Every structure is written in C-alpha cells, then in structure tokens.
Amino acid sequence: MEIDRLLIDRADGVEVAFERTKAWSTYCKDVIAYVRARIQLEQDHARKVHALVDTSRRDINKPFMPLREIFENSFDTEVEMVSHTKETTEHLRDRVVEALDARRKEHDTVRNALKVEWTKAMKACHDSEETFDKARMAVKMREDALKKARENV
C-alpha cells in the first residue's frame, strides 16, 4: 500500500503509525459513544411515546366519541413505531456497537503489545549503540596506547 511505503521511507514511520492507530482508536471510541447516546435517546423517546399512547388510549377509550377510530389507528401506528424502534436499536447495539467496540478493544490490545515490543526493541538498539560506542572508544584508547608505546620504544 502507498501509506506503507511512505511510513517505511520515514525515519519516524513507526511512531507515525502508532499515532495513527491511536487516533483510530480514539475516533472509534467517539463514534461508539455517539451511537450509544443516540440509541439511548431513541429508546427514551420510544418509551415516552408508548407511555403517552397508553395514557391517551385510556383517556379516549369512551364509546361514541368523535374521531375515536382515527385516534385508535394513530395509537396502533405509534405502538408499531415503538416496536420497530426497539428492534432497530437492539439490532444496532448488538450488530454495530458491540462489534465495533470488540474490534476497538482487540485493536488496542494488539497496538499496546506492539508498542511494548517496539519500545523494548528500541531500548535494545540504543543499548547496543551505546555498547558499540564504548567499544569503539576502548579500541581507540588502546590504539593510542599502542601508538605511544611504539613511539617510546
């Protein structure tokens, strides 16, 4: 992929990749929070509509009242809408929110494991560089000592 080539060409490519994966995780968390809040609002609205229908149905349920059938049909439609809302929100929660949240958690677990592994590898690399520099300085000092010893002979 093109992004892979761009990241490979950069010296800080792995760090940029970690930043992007963290940004995705944050974005995903925000989307999940929005969808959950929206689902909750829809469910609250549906409950309130259902309560209103129940109350109104009891109040209007008197024989020989004008427009009674129209209201009854309206109430039936509202109850059907509430039922569809409940089904839809449950479907969204089960199929979308929970699946996305599970994917985000898996993503975070893998990302954190890779970050720890990368940190260990970078520490080992820096330690190796320090050891190499110390060895180079030791060799340089010994060469200088050898050079002085040869000059003194």
- pLDDT of 94 above 80: yes
User: Quick one: CA dihedral 63, 67, 70, 75, positive or negative?
Assistant: negative
Higher pLDDT, 23 or 67: 23
- pLDDT of 67 above 90: no
- pLDDT of 60 above 90: no
* CATH assignment, 2-152: 1.20.1270.60
What is the per-residue pLDDT for 37?
A: 96
Q: Where in the chain are the domains?
A: 2-152
What is the per-residue pLDDT for 6?
A: 80
Residues 130, 137: Cα–Cα separation, whole Å: 10
Rg (CA), the chain: 34
